[in-house]
Structure 1
Amino acid sequence: MTTHVGDRKGPREPQVPRHHQLIVSLFGLYARQHGGGLAVATIIALMQDIGVESTGTRSSISRLKKRGVIDSVQVGGRNGYALAPSVIETFNEGDDRIFHPRRAKKGDQWLLATFTVPESQRHIRHKIRSSLVRMGFGSVTPGLWIAPGYLRDSVLAYFDTRGLDEYLEFFMADHVGGADLHKNIGSWWDLPALDALYSDFLEHNRGILEAWLQREQLPGDHGSDARAFADYLVLITQWRRLPYLDPGLPIEFLPENWNALEAERLFQKLHALLAPRAERHADRAIENQVVAG
């Protein structure tokens, strides 16, 4: 059973990713390296490696197709799926942010965003707001949003490719005085909620790193590639939203003992340790399924 981050009524269990989230990670990590598509049998086999039954996988595939995330394709003469063209760029944009998160410095500029949407297009207003949150913006007022300045290029590209840039104005700005910026950042972003997400990530993954480091000390087999794949797919699925919710705010403006710093180090260690093993396992499964077809 998965508990919500904000639930403090009892001991908090680490949040377990949902099946469709794991499948999205599977496509993001491996489908693009193999022509973009994965056979249905491959998806089922790889999801079984992390304990997901075929019925759960098929149900999640159907849900992702209805949402327009994946499209039906033929892979080696077999039924399969590929990322929809409309989301491929989103995955490409996410690579640097997920695997190489940046942190702004105290004196860096800020990126400000404001938008105007006619009352008759409320759905556009909601889409813009949710997109700003997804890109890591904090809300200064309902009509003014702020993010670290280094995000400028990725933010402009994000809204341009989605046809939303006509509603927005962006500005680069320096903080030159006035109210306490440290205090305001705590109101523009929900820092306690972010810190709780990092705490959950650490709680779930510290033991996994320790277990793999112990395996490294053993002679012979250091642990199967299949086990590494299962741990890595869950790791990526847990991690990939965090560099978006946390835009890399300057450490000087964050609470003491900010869990993000330890979480980033833990992720990088596990990524370096597990990614090559996981890729070997996924590559074998994908190649075997194509040959079998």
Structure 2
Amino acid sequence: MAEQHTPRSLIVTLYGAYGRPEQGPVPVASLIRLLGAVGVDAPSVRSSVSRLKRRGFLVPERTPEGAAAYGLSDEARELLADGDRRIYGPPPAGGEPGWVLAVFSVPEQERNKRHLLRSRLARLGFGTAAPGVWIAPARLYDEARHTLERLQLRPYVELFRGEHLGFAATAEAVSRWWDLTAIAKQHEEFLDLHEPVLRGWQSGREPEPEQAYHDYLLALDSWRRLPYADPGLPAALLPSDWPGDRSAAVFAELHARLHAVGGGYVRG
């Protein structure tokens, strides 16, 4: 199975893994070298960096030696910090009971805000309970509130907490609120591609920095969307063969084995 890694996505992933502010801005020459190691050519790196600069994700800077470089904008730093809790955190185990509901109404003349609301709630892991009513496990309340405030969307949304009291069984309702088949397929595709990579590293070979970096960056680029697509529902509400815990375990071990070793190649 082929996997698509866009240059822009890989650059975001690279900054998330190895390009935080404490590590300083990343020189353009280093970006070209590091993205070249995962198959991205120099023109694609430059055009993707330009798009990320226009979007306000990257800002031009200089290294102490005066070389052209790019660092993270304040908004990008906040986005990556928010993402760390989902991407690197353990799978939710039980957690806060109940649900958080987001009910929104957007005037027709501001329908661009309606699209932004829907897309952002979906990216946070909310499912659709009814038109204009989105639902997620209650533990996502703080992150949802913070995100909606940051995007200046709070005038259009009311948030509620509550229980599901019927009439359908909650497991049946959950299968309507989320496309569990599609989410499971994403987990299975991750496993198909990256579980064999993990088995190769488990065979006892000594980690080599460039290969560790290559395998880790591609795994992270695949994985980082999954903790958002999957809201982390209680096991009792999921099919018995749910692959989410397994894919989380594969990524966690790849991270533990490869992230620091790959950092040696990045610093080189």
Scaled by the length of structure 2, the TM-score of the pair is 0.94
1:45 aligns with 2:33: yes
Q: Which amino acid counterpart does residue 15 of structure 2 have in structure 1?
A: F
Structure 2 CA distance for partners of 1:182 and 1:107, relative to 1, 3 Å: farther
Question: How far apart are residue 41 of structure 1 and its match?
Answer: 0.7
Unpaired segments of 5 or more residues in structure 1? 1-12, 286-293
User: What is aligned with 1:191?
Assistant: 180
Aligned length: 267
Q: Which amino acid counterpart does residue 280 of structure 1 have in structure 2?
A: G
Contact preservation (8 Å) 1:226, 1:281: yes
Q: Which amino acid counterpart does residue 176 of structure 1 have in structure 2?
A: L
Contact preservation (8 Å) 2:57, 2:73: yes
1:23 corresponds to which of 11, 21, 24: 11
Secondary structure of the equivalent of 1:51? coil
CA displacement, residues 99-120 of structure 1 (integer Å, 9 cap, x when unaligned): 0144263981100110121121
2:225 corresponds to which of 241, 259, 270: 241
Identity %: 37
User: What is aligned with 1:113?
Assistant: 102
Contact preservation (8 Å) 2:96, 2:138: no
My pick for the range that moved more, 228-237 or 29-38, is 29-38
Distance, in Å, in 2 between the alignment partners of 1:150 and 1:106 is 7
User: What is aligned with 2:61?
Assistant: 73
Distance, in Å, in 2 between the alignment partners of 1:228 and 1:179 is 48
Contact preservation (8 Å) 1:98, 1:243: yes
Structure 2 CA distance for partners of 1:167 and 1:262, relative to 1, 3 Å: same
Contact preservation (8 Å) 1:101, 1:248: no
User: What is aligned with 1:155?
Assistant: 144
My pick for the range that moved more, 61-70 or 179-188, is 61-70
CA displacement, residues 200-249 of structure 1 (integer Å, 9 cap, x when unaligned): 100001110111111x2x5xxx1311110011111111000100111101
Q: Which amino acid counterpart does residue 81 of structure 1 have in structure 2?
A: Y
More contact order relative to length (CA 8 Å, sep ≥ 6): 1
1:230 corresponds to which of 214, 227, 230: 214
Question: How far apart are residue 131 of structure 1 and its match?
Answer: 0.7
Question: How far apart are residue 176 of structure 1 and its match?
Answer: 3.0
Contact preservation (8 Å) 1:14, 1:201: no
Distance, in Å, in 2 between the alignment partners of 1:106 and 1:161 is 25
Distance, in Å, in 1 between the alignment partners of 2:110 and 2:166 is 37
User: What is aligned with 1:254?
Assistant: 238
User: What is aligned with 1:8?
Assistant: none
Q: Which amino acid counterpart does residue 275 of structure 1 have in structure 2?
A: H
My pick for the range that moved more, 52-61 or 205-214, is 52-61
Distance, in Å, in 2 between the alignment partners of 1:23 and 1:204 is 20
Distance, in Å, in 2 between the alignment partners of 1:41 and 1:107 is 46
Unpaired segments of 5 or more residues in structure 2? none
1:263 corresponds to which of 223, 240, 247: 247
1:59 corresponds to which of 37, 41, 47: 47
CA displacement, residues 163-214 of structure 1 (integer Å, 9 cap, x when unaligned): 1112111011012342111111111111111111111100001110111111
Distance, in Å, in 2 between the alignment partners of 1:111 and 1:198 is 25
1:127 aligns with 2:125: no
My pick for the range that moved more, 89-98 or 172-181, is 172-181
Contact preservation (8 Å) 2:91, 2:248: no
Question: How far apart are residue 88 of structure 1 and its match?
Answer: 1.8
Contact preservation (8 Å) 2:27, 2:63: yes
Contact preservation (8 Å) 2:96, 2:139: no
Secondary structure of the equivalent of 2:20? helix
Question: How far apart are residue 83 of structure 1 and its match?
Answer: 1.8
Question: How far apart are residue 16 of structure 1 and its match?
Answer: 2.7
Distance, in Å, in 2 between the alignment partners of 1:261 and 1:102 is 7
Distance, in Å, in 2 between the alignment partners of 1:113 and 1:121 is 18
1:32 aligns with 2:20: yes
Q: 1:95-110 residue pairs with structure 2 within 5 A?
A: 95-103=84-92, 105=94, 108-110=97-99
